[in-house]
Chain A
Amino acid sequence: MSLFATFNSIAFVIIMMIGLYTLIARQNLVKKTLGLGLFQTGIFLMYITLGVRDGGSAPILQEGADLAYSNPLPHVLILTAIVVSLSTMAVALALIIGVREEYGTIEADEIATIDRAEAKEDHEA
Chain B
Amino acid sequence: MSDPVLLINVILLVIAVVAAIAAMWTRDLLGAVMLMGIYSLLLAVEWANLFAMDVSYTEAAVGAGAATILLLTALTRTGTREKAGPNFHPTALLTVIVTGALLIYGTADMPRFGDPQAPATVNVAPEYIAQNVGKVDAGEDGPENDFGDHVPNAVTAVLASYRGYDTMFETAVIFTAGVCVILILRPLSPSARRETAQSQEGA
Contacts and interface: CB of A to CB of B under 8 A. Distances in A.
Given A21-B96, A78-B52, A100-B78, A86 B184 contact: no
Nearest to B23: A34
Interface residues of B, number: 97
A104 B43 CA distance: 35
- Chain A interface bracket (under 10, 10 to 19, 20 to 34, 35 or more): 35 or more
Main secondary structure of the interface of A (DSSP, over half): helix
A41 to B, nearest CB: 6
Interface string A85-112: 0111111011111101000001100100
A33 B118 CA distance: 34
Interface string A54-77: 101111111100001111111111
A38 B20 contact: yes
A89 B166 CA distance: 20
A78 B47 CA distance: 11
B54 A69 contact: no
A24 to B, nearest CB: 4
B1 interface: yes
A125 B186 CA distance: 32
Contacts of A93: 70-71, 73-74
Contacts of A60: 53, 152-154
A8 B52 CA distance: 15
B17 interface: yes
A54 B116 contact: yes
Contacts of A25: 87, 89, 92-93
Nearest to B159: A76
Interface in B154-183: 154-155, 157-159, 163, 166-167, 170, 173-174, 176-178, 180-181
Contacts of A87: 173-174, 176-177
Nearest to A69: B129
A27 B73 CA distance: 20
Contacts of B143: none
Interface of A: 1-2, 4-11, 13-22, 24-28, 30-31, 33-35, 37-38, 41, 44-45, 48-54, 56-63, 68-80, 82-84, 86-91, 93-98, 100, 106-107, 110
5 contacts: A21-B96, A44-B55, A71-B125, A82-B62, A86-B63
